[in-house]
Amino acid sequence: MTEPTSLSLSACSHLPIPFNTSPEPLELIAQGAESLLYKTTFLFPSQPAALKIRPVKKWRHPTLDKRLTRARILAEARVLVKLSGEGIAVGGGGRKVKDPKKGNGVVGGMRGLVPAVLGLDWEGGWLVTEWIEGGTVKEAIYRVSRARTMGGSGVGLSGDAVVEELRGLLRKMGEVVGKLHACGVVHGDLTTSNMMLRPFGTASPQSSKPEGHDEASAQLSTGPAPDVDQPKSTSRSQTSLEGDIVLIDFGLATQSVSDEDRAVDLYVLERAFGSTHPREEELFACVLDAYAHGEGSGMNGKAGKTVIRKLEDVRMRGRKKSMLG
Partner 1 sequence: MPIAVGLEGSANKLGVGIILHPSHDTPTDPPSPHDSAHSDDGAFHPHSKQHSSPPVQILANLRHTFVSPPGTGFLPKDTAAHHRRWVVRLVRQAMKQAKVRLEDIECICYTKGPGMGAPLGSVAIAARTLSQLWDKPLVGVNHCVGHIEMGRAITGAENPVVLYVSGGNTQVIAYSAQRYRIFGEALDIAVGNCLDRFARVLHISNDPAPGYNIEQLAKTGNVLLELPYAVKGMDVSFSGILARVEEMAKKLEASNGSWLDPETNTSPITKSDLCFTLQETVFAMLVEITERAMAHVGAAQVLIVGGVGCNERLQQMMGIMAEERGGSVYATDERFCIDNGIMIAHAGLLAHKMGFETQLKDSTFTQRFRTDEVLVNWRD
Q: Which of 16, 25, 57, 237 binds partner 1 (CB under 8 A)?
A: 57
Residue 271 CA to residue 277 CA, distance in Å, equals 10
Site track 221-260 with partner 1 (rule: CB under 8 A), x = hit: -------------------------------x--------
**209 near partner 1, rule: CB under 8 A:** no
Our CA angle for 117, 60, 79, nearest 5°, is 20
* Residue 308 near residue 288, CB atoms below 8 Å: yes
Nearer to partner 1, 53 or 147 (CB): 53
Binding to partner 1 by residue 289, rule CB under 8 A?
no
Q: Which is nearer to partner 1, 2 or 158 (CB)?
A: 2
Provide DSSP, 149-206.
Answer: HTTTTTTT--HHHHHHHHHHHHHHHHHHHHHHHHTTEE-S---GGGEEEEPTT----T
Q: Measured between alpha carbons, how far is residue 160 from residues 156, 175, 234 in Å?
A: 12, 23, 20
What are the beta bridge partners of residue 185?
255
CA angle 305, 97, 117 (to 5 degrees): 95
Confirm whether 121 is a catalytic residue. Answer: no
Sign of the Cα pseudo-torsion (170, 175, 179, 181, in order):
positive
Residue among 65, 121, 160, 189 flagged as catalytic: 189
Binding of partner 1 by 33 (CB under 8 A) = yes
* Closest distance of CB 122 from partner 1, Å: 16
Closer to partner 1 by CB, 72 or 167: give it.
Answer: 72
Q: Is 34 in the site for partner 1 (CB under 8 A)?
A: yes
Instruction: Output 244 or 265, the one with its CB closest to partner 1.
Output: 265
Pick the closer one to partner 1 by CB: 169 or 268: 268
In the region spanning residues 134 to 153, those forming contacts with partner 1, defined by CB under 8 A, are none
| Contacting residues toward partner 1, per CB under 8 A | 1-2, 32-34, 57-61, 63-64, 67-68, 188-189, 252, 268, 320-325
Residues that are catalytic: 189
